[in-house]
């Protein structure tokens, strides 16, 4: 049980940190984020919305309790990351530019699996 909790918090902390760091430029609509969205042919007006959604998702997965909100946060993150992966691929970016997006996707799935494993062990 203790190992699962430790692994859960390490993986979830890394995942939350990645998503938090990626939300800040979006919330502030920094020129680099706007330019990046132009390269993948996405409208700039959606950038702050995505940034705020990521920030709220990070809060949701880190705060204890609220299992339904956590489920929605994980789903939202996976949709966001899958959309980013596909948008980069479809816009003609090289493999080296879109392949690193797989790392947070893997972290999301591992964090989610460990969350459920921790919940099962806690409810016994």
| Domain ranges (residues) in the chain | 2-122
Estimate the crossing angle of helix 67-90 against helix 102-122, to 10 degrees: 160
Q: Could you read off the pLDDT tens digit of each residue along the chain, which spans 124 residues?
A: 789 999 999 999 999 999 999 999 999 999 999 998 888 888 999 999 999 999 999 999 999 889 999 999 999 999 999 999 998 898 888 898 889 999 999 999 999 999 999 988 887 5
**Residue 56: per-residue pLDDT:** 97
**Residue 10: per-residue pLDDT:** 97
Counting Cα atoms < 13 Å in the Cβ hemisphere of 86 gives 6
Using alpha carbons only, give the angle 108, 25, 28 rounded to the nearest 5 degrees: 130
**Residue 82: per-residue pLDDT:** 95
Closest listed residue to residue 62, CA positions, set 13, 123, 2, 121: 13
CA distance 22 to 88: 16
**Residue 14: per-residue pLDDT:** 97
**Residue 73: per-residue pLDDT:** 97
């Amino acid at each position: 049980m203790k190992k699962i909790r430790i692994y859960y918090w390490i993986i979830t902390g890394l995942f939350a940190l990645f998503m938090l760091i990626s939300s800040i430029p979006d919330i502030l609509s920094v020129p680099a984020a706007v330019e990046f969205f132009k390269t993948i042919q996405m409208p700039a007006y959606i950038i702050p919305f995505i940034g705020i959604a990521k920030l709220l998702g990070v809060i949701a997965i880190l705060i204890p309790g609220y299992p339904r909100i956590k489920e929605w946060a994980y789903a939202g993150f996976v949709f966001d990351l899958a959309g980013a992966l596909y948008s980069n691929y479809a816009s003609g970016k090289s493999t080296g530019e879109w392949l690193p997006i797989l790392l947070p996707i893997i972290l999301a799935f591992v964090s989610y699996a460990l969350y459920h494993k921790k919940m099962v062990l806690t409810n016994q």
